[in-house]
Chains A and B, each alone.
Chain A
Amino acid sequence: MQKLIRIEPAKCVGCKTCELSCSFKNVGEFAPSRTRIYNEIFLDEAKFITVTCMQCDEPWCEKSCPKNAISKNMATGVVTVEEVKCVGCRTCVSACPFGMIKYVDSTGKADKCNLCGGDTPECVAFCPTQCLTLDEEDKPLRQKMLRFVNTIKDGQMEV
């Protein structure tokens, strides 16, 4: 199975450390505008939602790239932009239904999460609440399912 950044939204406290650590590692400065992981803050509802590229099995960005600059590594599953091939046409930006690949003005290239190229992703290393984990197994999904299961268990009467 593929290792992915697993996200458990209920654990997020809205500190944006993921955005800070991502941009610091990948572009050399603390710049939330350059992050590849997004921590959105909803002040009124006090809800914090984090999203990033899920390294699709059949990536829209890869399929749409006219220069074959985007590829999915079959061993690691990571979808990567090859900068030398990228011409900055933004087709992938239009194609991705999740808004997880973007065009960067300063480089003229497409940019997306590559799980920090095989290391522990920096956002995962710095996330203070373990809202983000790198795992083959989707543990947050199992936790969510178990919460539902437990409501049934609690409601079940002995017969």
Chain B
Amino acid sequence: MNKGWKGQLLRVDLTAGTCKIEALNEEWAKAYVGGRGLASKYLCEEISPDVDPMSPKNKLIMATGPLTGTYGAANGRYMVVTKSPLTGTIASSNSGGYFPSELKYAGFDMIIFEGKSKHPVYLQIRDGKAELVGAVHLWGKSTNETEDAILSEFHGDAKIACIGSAGEIGVHYACIVNDKHRAAGRSGVGMVMGSKNLKAVAVRGTGGVQVANPKAYRDAALEAYGMLKENPVTGQGLGALGTPVLVNVMNQSGGLPTRNAQTGTFEGAEEISGETLASTYLKRNKSCMGCIISCGRVTKIVDNKYAGDGEGPEYETLWAIGAACGISDLAAITKANYICNEAGMDTITFGATIGCAMELFEKGLVSEKEIGMSLNFGDSDAMVKLAEMTAKGEGFGKKIGLGSYRLAESYGAPELSMSVKKLEFPAYDARAVQGMGLEYATSNRGACHVRGYLISPEILGLPEKLDPQETEGKAGWLKIFQDFTAVVDSSGVCLFTTFGIGVPQFTKFCNAATGTDMSEEDLLVAGDRIYNMERMFNLKAGIDPSQDKLPKRMLEEPLPDGPHQGQVSKLPKMLPDYYKVRGWGKDGIPTEAKLQSLGLS
């Protein structure tokens, strides 16, 4: 096996209660880079795309990349890949912290969970050995409590990924939390974990990761460090203000979707901004393993009815629980963020679902009696109460736990769900940032910002400034961003590094780590391959190209205010371009020739 890799994966049969070690497929590792790509390849080979995500036939894969556990940029990431219960698409959720690197130090590149345990269990891994142990005593515990309990009963230096109550009770957007504050957040990967009665994975590893060409690797690392330090976003902005730096930026751009995206500017933006967070509840910043950016927000609230401590809120959370709900009470948002983290719930979908429920309530589609309280936009107390109820599966919280699409559909108004393929879009309005709308419509896991983050050129001007209302050329930009992101996600490095380093640096890293001789073009082709493979999975799962769409509001209701007042999404203009640039048919289906050229037919 090439260096960079440990060369083995752990296959855990939860039905039989067994753990088996297998050699990693070397050919696949090369063609699909690692992480997201390689795990998706295994998933596509091993499950039928039409499988019920909650059935034992679905599999849950935790995968590192060849660069995970090394240094050079922000090399501490892993991917959780499965079929999503929220969207029915392929799901891959990324997280950092210390757990992913530890998995490699323990000797494994990947874990594949299959089947379903009869009773709650958790997996203990210690230097190449693994066993399933009972977790009845952990069931019901928060992510913090679970981690503390495992640290004391298994190994004080173990690194832990686990689910909270949300994953156990079937919140459709449950996440998997590791190292207490990091989350593989979106698509409901924690719900799949819970459906398998798997509470946690605890790893202790004392081995190491070798690279094929140490000198070239060190040189690549020094170059990348220099570039990341000099870049204003990675060198200063993200460390000082974290992702919340974007609240004011997006509000001024008129693209901060407010009150369930009824407008694009929020009068309370300043109160929930990164600057306000920094001057109130922020204690310090912190890093994941091997990261020089340090965007983590350690926060604490004292002397307030919402007292608590933890990490976050991040930008998307401030938007989702804040602007999307018309809430500008930073303490309430931060508190709900803590509740979500401890229950293991995706804050984006949670907040967006509350925003949707608020609109349903204000439009009279759901009654005060049914919710158990009134639920107007801006009601922070009701929002925090619903976070607690959702985490426990109580009352109307059960409905909030279904996500906005299923909620709105049950009241006959699915168009009020601001989602694509049932995944809520995050904190950028598709009417104000056209390329981002195209990304929402075409991302393989539903409306998502971290598959092709065109905010970087359209708003931040990196690597160059694009006009956010221009449609011409956006398809080409998006394809490159999506393909490159697929590579980054697969390598084991954090996406945030791409503000400062690009394809040349990743090519050097991958080659020096694994001893391959890929060109920059080869690397992007690998990204294209991963993207098309995911697309084919979705098509076979019944998510046809008619789902490459946006909520009606984005297409038909012009933005009522801000710099992009009067604009709607020009998706219909961009989508045919996109299919063409991707080498797909006009029907949005990858052509046989395209698939063949990528080795996918």
Contacts and interface: CB of A to CB of B under 8 A. Distances in A.
Nearest to A29: B208
A99 interface: no
A32 B105 CA distance: 9
Interface in A1-52: 13-17, 20-21, 23-24, 27-34, 41, 43-44, 46, 48
Nearest to B148: A44
B246 to A, nearest CB: 21
A128 interface: yes
A20 B70 contact: yes
Contacts of B69: 30
A81 to B, nearest CB: 20
A129 B98 CA distance: 19
Interface string B202-222: 000111111100100010010
Query: Which of A30, A43, A46, A129 is most buried by chain B, counting CB atoms within 10 A of its CB?
Result: A30
Contacts of A17: 71, 290, 292
Nearest to A20: B71
A126 interface: yes
A158 B492 CA distance: 59
B284 interface: yes
B416 to A, nearest CB: 39
B287 A29 contact: no
A20 to B, nearest CB: 4
Interface residues of B, number: 33
Interface residues of A, number: 25
Contacts of B290: 15-17, 20
B283 interface: yes
Interface string B44-77: 0000000000000000000000000111000000
A24 B218 CA distance: 9
Contacts of A13: 239, 285-287, 294
B294 A30 contact: no
A79 B593 CA distance: 65
A44 B208 CA distance: 26
B459 interface: no
Contacts of A28: 210, 214
Interface in A40-69: 41, 43-44, 46, 48
Given A17-B71, A27-B208, A30-B71, A128 B225 contact: yes
B289 interface: yes
Nearest to B127: A33
Nearest to A44: B180
B105 A15 contact: no
A100 to B, nearest CB: 18
B298 interface: yes
A131 to B, nearest CB: 11
Nearest to B235: A128
Contacts of B209: 29-31
A32 B207 CA distance: 8
A30 B285 CA distance: 24
A15 B288 CA distance: 6
Given A20-B71, A31-B208, A43-B181, A126 B225 contact: yes
Contacts of B210: 28-30
Contacts of A24: 70-71, 214, 218
Nearest to A122: B218
B229 A31 contact: no
B291 interface: yes
Interface in A113-156: 126, 128-129
A159 to B, nearest CB: 35
Given A15-B294, A24-B214, A126-B225, A30 B181 contact: no
Contacts of A41: 98
Contact of B289 (A15, A31, A48): A15
A52 B579 CA distance: 56
A3 to B, nearest CB: 22
Contact of A30 (B208, B225, B229, B288): B208
Given A31-B208, A31-B209, A41-B98, A15 B214 contact: no
B283 A46 contact: yes
Contacts of B289: 15-16, 20
B286 A46 contact: yes
A141 B127 CA distance: 40
Nearest to A33: B206
Interface in B140-191: 179-181
A43 B179 contact: yes
Given A15-B290, A30-B208, A33-B207, A128 B98 contact: no
Contacts of B206: 31, 33
A128 B295 CA distance: 13
A108 B205 CA distance: 20
A32 to B, nearest CB: 7
Given A15-B292, A17-B71, A24-B214, A46 B284 contact: yes
Nearest to A32: B105
Contacts of B292: 15, 17, 128
Interface string B494-510: 00000000000000000
A30 B205 CA distance: 12
Contacts of A128: 225, 229, 292, 294
Interface string B224-262: 010001000000000100000000000000000000000
A29 B229 CA distance: 25
A20 B221 CA distance: 12
A129 B292 CA distance: 8
B504 to A, nearest CB: 21
Given A13-B286, A43-B181, A128-B229, A30 B298 contact: no
A32 B285 CA distance: 22
A94 to B, nearest CB: 21
A36 to B, nearest CB: 14
A33 B105 contact: yes
A29 B287 CA distance: 21
A110 B530 CA distance: 47
B287 A15 contact: yes
A22 to B, nearest CB: 10
Interface of B: 69-71, 98, 105, 179-181, 205-211, 214, 218, 221, 225, 229, 239, 283-292, 294, 298
Given A29-B209, A41-B98, 15 more contacts: A13-B287, A15-B287, A16-B290, A20-B71, A23-B208, A24-B214, A30-B69, A30-B208, A30-B210, A31-B206, A31-B208, A31-B209, A43-B179, A46-B298, A129-B294
Closest 5 CB pairs of A and B: A31-B208, A29-B208, A128-B292, A15-B287, A33-B206
11 contacts: A13-B239, A14-B287, A16-B98, A17-B71, A20-B70, A21-B71, A29-B208, A31-B207, A33-B208, A41-B98, A128-B229
Interface of A: 13-17, 20-21, 23-24, 27-34, 41, 43-44, 46, 48, 126, 128-129
